[in-house]
Amino acid sequence: MNAPSPPLAPTNAALMARRRAALPRGLGQTYEVFVERADNAEVWDVEGQRYIDFAGGIAVLNTGHRHPRIVQAVKAQLDLYHHTCFQVLAYEPYVELAERLLAKAPGDFAKKAFFLSTGAEAVENAVKIARVATGRSAVIAFGGGFHGRTLLGMALTGKVAPYKSGFGPFPAEIYHAEFPNPLHGVSVADALRSLEHLFKYDVEASRVAAIILEPVQGEGGFYVAPPEFAQALRALCDRHGIVLIADEIQTGAGRTGTWLACEQWGPQACPDLITMAKSMAGGFPLAAVIGRAELMDAPGPGGLGGTYAGHPLACAAALAVLDVFEQEQLLARAQAVGARLRAGLQALAAQHPEIGDVRGLGAMLAIELFQAGNLQQPNPELTQRVCAEALARGLVLLSCGLYANVIRILVPLTASDALLDEGLALLGAALAAAKHVPKPQ
């Protein structure tokens, strides 16, 4: 008898066909690639193709794929217990993580912290806390901001397609002001004026519970909130008794060269509440709300929490992330990675007039693409082609931006200089190839 033939190795195409048949199309798919394994800043797909990972699972892998210390901490936790529900039977790693995050948060005042599973949940809970603490209902967010895919997260998000299209009605009393974006004609003064307009046209300041902003807009296009804007918001919030929330879900955990990006606003612009998620637990689902103790204690017992919120494996991973940051001095590394990438991107901009801007904070960097030399004409098609050409050469990139014309870099901070340079070279090759579209026959 013939021996049974070994099962065929799956291909990306075959797995995509199964994915299309089984999963809804609303679950977008940036690249038709199925991963087999990953290590630090490299990924291999089921067909054996290697990729340099400049996406980091959308800002989740500041400490890289499978950092040995994080893997070890999670395995050790798995051998003890992996679920009790913190509100039923508590465990020390949760409390220790809260203590260590409080020690790192800016602001010379008493603070408290608690945990959830996703970024959107953290945003929702920060708004809940602000509402209970102030007895007010309105919330102001910013155009181009992104705060998650739950109904409140979508309501706060300042970008309709694809996040909000068809999903309304959204929770009421959410307003959007302009985010400073000089490249697209919005100065800090314009943005502050738009807030005054909201108070004049839409909602009185005394009914506003919170203002929420990202220190660097993530999905919106890596536009950086200048410290003077944050300081003006802080003064406005103080004047009107409004809670200032910094959404650090994408910027936090060292990406911008400080543990939290809002540290760079200076002591005169401390947020009252901070949301974190993504890289804080190195790839395990964990989110946090950190803030002024008197606000955090406003909701009554039972008002906060969740079945999986602050899961033991995720807490163990987050504690290991904190250790790795200390032991490997990843904040200094974030600054070095940022400087190296910025120099590389500026060199590319000197060769390619389509790159209209190189910007970011620390290692949170992006290029914005336009029709050559024309800042009035964003170029989403070229952006898409660059990403496709990069993937074909073994580099995973992510696009973003209100006009879908921004390429953002969220490479692990643990990547070597050699890997960064290799990725930059592939980006350069992808740009050159994407500019030469064959004319239709």
Ligand X SMILES: Cc1ncc(COP(=O)(O)O)c(C=O)c1O
Provide the minimum distance between the beta carbon of 208 and ligand X in the complex, in angstroms, as a whole number. Answer: 20
Between residues 106 and 221, which has the closer beta carbon with respect to ligand X? 221
| Residues belonging to the chain | 441
Between residues 250 and 414, which has the closer beta carbon with respect to ligand X? 250
Provide the minimum distance between the beta carbon of 251 and ligand X in the complex, in angstroms, as a whole number. Answer: 7
Its sign, for the CA torsion 266, 334, 397, 119, is: negative
* Per-residue H/E/C for 12-46: HHHHHHHHHHHCCCCCCCCCCCCEEEEEECEEEEC
- Nearest-angstrom CA–CA distance, 340 and 331: 14
Residues 66-125 that bind ligand X (CB under 6 A): 118-120, 123
Provide the minimum distance between the beta carbon of 58 and ligand X in the complex, in angstroms, as a whole number. Answer: 6
Q: Judge contact between 239 and 211, C-beta under 8 A.
A: no
Residues 226-285 that bind ligand X (CB under 6 A): 247, 249-250, 277
- Nearest-angstrom CA–CA distance, 69 and 229: 39
The 10 Å Cβ neighbour count of residue 68 is 11
Of residues 146, 223, 229, 259, which one binds ligand X by CB under 6 A? 146
According to the binding rule CB under 6 A, does residue 158 interact with ligand X? no
Between residues 249 and 419, which has the closer beta carbon with respect to ligand X? 249
Query: Of 6-14, 134-142, 213-221, 346-354, which segment contacts ligand X by CB under 6 A?
Result: 213-221
* Per-residue H/E/C for 112-128: EEEEECCHHHHHHHHHH
Query: Of 27-35, 70-78, 214-222, 381-389, which segment contacts ligand X by CB under 6 A?
Result: 214-222
- Nearest-angstrom CA–CA distance, 185 and 42: 38
Between residues 40 and 250, which has the closer beta carbon with respect to ligand X? 250
Tokens 């999986």 identify what position? 308
Q: Judge contact between 395 and 51, C-beta under 8 A.
A: yes
Q: Count the residues of the shown chain that bind ligand X, applying the rule CB under 6 A.
A: 15
Tokens 């401390």 identify what position? 270
Provide the minimum distance between the beta carbon of 189 and ligand X in the complex, in angstroms, as a whole number. Answer: 25
The first and second tokens of residue 300, run together, are 């009554």
> Which residues, including other chains, have CB under 8 Å from residue 340's CB and lie 6 or more apart?
417, 420, 421
Between residues 191 and 277, which has the closer beta carbon with respect to ligand X? 277
Q: Where are the alpha helices (DSSP H) in 310-404?
A: 312-327, 330-351, 380-392
Interaction mask 405-434, ligand X, x per CB under 6 A: ------------------------------
Provide the minimum distance between the beta carbon of 179 and ligand X in the complex, in angstroms, as a whole number. Answer: 12
- Nearest-angstrom CA–CA distance, 135 and 209: 7
Between residues 192 and 261, which has the closer beta carbon with respect to ligand X? 261
Of residues 64, 93, 143, 148, which one binds ligand X by CB under 6 A? 148
Q: Which residue, judged by CB position, is nearest to ligand X in the bound state?
A: 119
Between residues 97 and 116, which has the closer beta carbon with respect to ligand X? 116
Provide the minimum distance between the beta carbon of 280 and ligand X in the complex, in angstroms, as a whole number. Answer: 11
Query: Of 142-150, 173-181, 200-208, 400-408, which segment contacts ligand X by CB under 6 A?
Result: 142-150
- Give whole-number Cα distances, 324 to 63, 94, 275, 414, 417, in Å: 8, 18, 21, 10, 18
The first and second tokens of residue 160, run together, are 């309709």
Provide the minimum distance between the beta carbon of 257 and ligand X in the complex, in angstroms, as a whole number. Answer: 17
Contacts with ligand X by CB under 6 A lie at 58, 118-120, 123, 146-148, 214, 218-219, 247, 249-250, 277
